[in-house]
């Protein structure tokens, strides 16, 4: 089983007839999914999603794939195939199309509708090609066949890519729910047929590969949701992903049964459910859905709100309710239903929201105390079935953290895939399929690209480190005024601090040391402002580190007057 090496060099040119896979996101992380397939000088992109920031990304709105590896080859991109409409698969499309707006987007009806609505906000009108399961399209040298898969959003597709250099089956995100709410199951007959034809490389969803058995069917959570509606004394507030059509459908059905009215809260929730309803993927019972203003005038025991914020996002509606910063004032007797699983890395943020809501008197129902959500990803038992049906020659686990991909690779080996034919890679590691065998060919630059307000790519790790220091350690400003002609200290040093529990008088103890260090610098001929700033930074930093056990940001300012 091969794996990337930190010192991989740039890959050589792709051998004639070979197929190259360049993962630009989604390998080693949950989100930011994007893979580039290269063959005969042309590129096919599969998915283009975002990663949501965590606590160590202060001030960041979104994290994008790094397009650097293909930025000078956008004319070679024949299409972007979108497997489904979740943000971690379509969220970065506007940022790619900013670079070249006429790249065709290929996907199912709902997926394209969701991405078109997103692009409208960016004032981009895309070229689109709608496809359905069983359909087949020639995209440059890539012959693509689309296969129905079941996921936590309707209309998801896997894609089978035929090339003269080999075949690739990319599952997208999927599971094998045998009784899905919309009746659309993963097409295992098509998987078997493609397996008989021959799958040279199987790129398969790893998110739940470490979970034994089979993923719980969606239908099994309906009784738990119905119990919530039966037992709730006052309002019910449901938080889920803004694209989780199936879950919203269950909430609407439960509301109709219990005589309650429903209002959507949040721009993305209103937009996406409107699209799903218009296209027939969401059935809205007559009279159940109302706007928020009308809902709030009804008795509390008739109100249901559906909002975003199930992952603890700071600006989402539910987080603001938990902090008392929303017009919906959550209180005693309200029931909050978190109808989503935890994305790895979001646990602390979600528990903070749960604690905040509980402190305000709400009864919070979530995955740990009730069966109110099931995963949208195949567990180990389902993946084993797929490996035995498809019988791939080579495997590249995708979509998951390192532990998920290792678990997925182990499943492939257990079903008979030779260990040397299973590649565990990470973002930027280039994998070639040549003469039926995969191998790691090198690596391309593939860092995080941060969306920071209106800026894309301007923020970097150095800036985030500064923000973390300011947030966690505080800062010290030292202002010194020098006589411009003599270089002697005319005023100061004045010390100002922010973010310290210790009083300002503590820093008076460093002033004599600082004056002595500056005088010594003058005696040795140091006149340059930058060098004096470094003297100040070292002296104050040493004092704060030794005495206060802190590493604040130190900002020395030297003014010549």
Q: How confident is the model at residue 1, as a pLDDT?
A: 38
Tell me whether residue 89 is annotated as binding. yes
Q: How confident is the model at residue 489, as a pLDDT?
A: 73
pTM, two decimals, is 0.83
Distance CA 272, CA 223 (A): 26
Q: Which residue has the tokens 């209103």?
A: 270
Distance CA 46, CA 480 (A): 56
One of 47, 205, 253, 427 is an active-site residue; which one?
Answer: 205
Whether 205 is a known active-site residue: answer yes
Q: How confident is the model at residue 3, as a pLDDT?
A: 43
Domains, the chain: 19-213+375-451 (3.60.15.10), 218-365 (3.40.50.10710), 461-560 (3.10.20.580)
Distance CA 242, CA 307 (A): 8
Q: How confident is the model at residue 493, as a pLDDT?
A: 79
* DSSP label of 213: S
Distance CA 255, CA 302 (A): 9
Distance CA 390, CA 388 (A): 6
Distance CA 80, CA 157 (A): 13
One of 210, 377, 427, 432 is an active-site residue; which one?
Answer: 377
Q: How confident is the model at residue 344, as a pLDDT?
A: 61
Residue 540 · residue 551 · CB < 8 Å: no
Tell me whether residue 173 is annotated as binding. yes
Q: Dump the DSSP string for 388-407.
A: HHH--SSEEEESB-HHHHHH
Nearest in space to 151 (alpha carbons), one of 373, 377, 340:
377
Tell me whether residue 445 is annotated as binding. no
Q: How confident is the model at residue 458, as a pLDDT?
A: 66
Distance CA 61, CA 453 (A): 7
Distance CA 22, CA 32 (A): 14
Whether 377 is a known active-site residue: answer yes
Tell me whether residue 230 is annotated as binding. no
Rounded-to-10 torsion of CA 344, 345, 349, 353: 0
- Give the ranges where 23-174 is alpha helix by DSSP (H): 87-90, 93-97, 109-121
Strands 166-170 and 201-205: parallel
Tell me whether residue 155 is annotated as binding. no
Q: How confident is the model at residue 342, as a pLDDT?
A: 61
Q: Which residues of the chain have pLDDT under 50?
A: 1-4
Using DSSP, state whether 272 is helix, strand or coil: helix
């Amino acid at each position: 089983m091969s794996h990337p090496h930190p010192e991989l060099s740039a890959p050589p040119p792709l051998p004639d007839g070979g197929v190259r896979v360049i993962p630009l996101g989604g390998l080693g992380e949950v989100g930011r999914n994007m893979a580039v397939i290269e063959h005969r000088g042309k590129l096919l992109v599969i998915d283009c999603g975002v990663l949501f920031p965590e606590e160590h990304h202060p001030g960041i709105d979104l994290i994008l794939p790094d397009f650097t590896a293909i930025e000078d080859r956008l004319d070679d991109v024949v299409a972007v195939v979108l497997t489904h409409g979740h943000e971690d698969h379509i969220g970065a499309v506007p940022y790619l199309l900013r670079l070249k707006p006429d790249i065709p987007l290929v996907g199912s009806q709902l997926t394209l509708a969701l991405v078109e609505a997103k692009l409208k906000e960016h004032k981009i009108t895309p070229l689109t090609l709608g496809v359905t399961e069983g359909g087949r399209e020639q995209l440059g040298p890539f012959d693509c066949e689309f296969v129905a898969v079941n996921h936590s959003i309707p209309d998801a597709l896997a894609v089978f890519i035929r090339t003269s250099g080999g075949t690739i089956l990319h599952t997208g995100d999927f599971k094998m729910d045998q009784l899905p709410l919309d009746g659309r199951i993963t097409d295992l007959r098509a998987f078997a047929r493609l397996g008989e034809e021959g799958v040279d490389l199987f790129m398969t969803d790893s998110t739940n590969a470490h979970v034994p058995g089979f993923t719980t069917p969606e239908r099994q959570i309906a009784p738990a949701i119905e119990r919530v509606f039966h037992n709730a004394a006052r309002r019910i507030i449901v938080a889920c992903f803004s694209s989780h059509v199936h879950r919203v459908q269950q909430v609407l059905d439960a509301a109709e049964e219990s005589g309650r009215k429903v209002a959507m809260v949040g721009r993305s929730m209103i937009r996406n459910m409107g699209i799903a309803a218009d296209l027939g993927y969401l059935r809205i019972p007559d009279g159940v859905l109302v706007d928020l203003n009308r809902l709030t005038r009804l008795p509390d025991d008739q109100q249901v709100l559906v909002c975003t914020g199930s992952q603890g996002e700071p600006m989402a509606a539910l987080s603001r309710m938990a902090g008392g910063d929303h017009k919906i004032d959550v209180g005693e007797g309200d029931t909050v239903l978190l109808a989503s699983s935890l994305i790895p890395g979001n646990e602390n943020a979600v528990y903070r929201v749960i604690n905040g809501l509980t402190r305000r008197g709400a009864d919070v129902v979530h995955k740990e105390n009730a069966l109110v959500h099931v995963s949208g990803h195949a567990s180990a038992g389902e993946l084993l079935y797929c490996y035995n049906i498809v019988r791939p020659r080579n495997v590249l686990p995708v979509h998951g953290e390192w532990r998920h991909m290792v678990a997925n690779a182990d499943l492939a080996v257990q079903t008979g895939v030779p260990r040397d034919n299973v590649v565990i890679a990470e973002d930027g590691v280039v994998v070639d399929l040549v003469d039926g065998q995969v191998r790691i060919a090198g690596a391309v630059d593939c860092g995080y690209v941060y969306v920071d307000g209106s800026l894309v790519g301007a923020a970097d790790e150095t800036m985030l480190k500064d923000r973390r220091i300011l947030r966690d350690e505080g800062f010290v400003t030292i202002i010194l005024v020098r006589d411009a002609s003599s270089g002697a200290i005319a005023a100061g040093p004045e010390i100002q601090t922010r973010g310290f529990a210790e009083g300002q008088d503590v820093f008076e103890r460093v002033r004599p040391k600082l004056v002595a260090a500056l005088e010594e610098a003058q005696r040795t001929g140091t006149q340059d402002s930058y060098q004096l700033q470094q003297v100040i930074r070292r002296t104050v930093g040493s004092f704060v580190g030794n005495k206060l056990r802190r590493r604040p940001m130190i900002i020395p300012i030297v003014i010549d007057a």
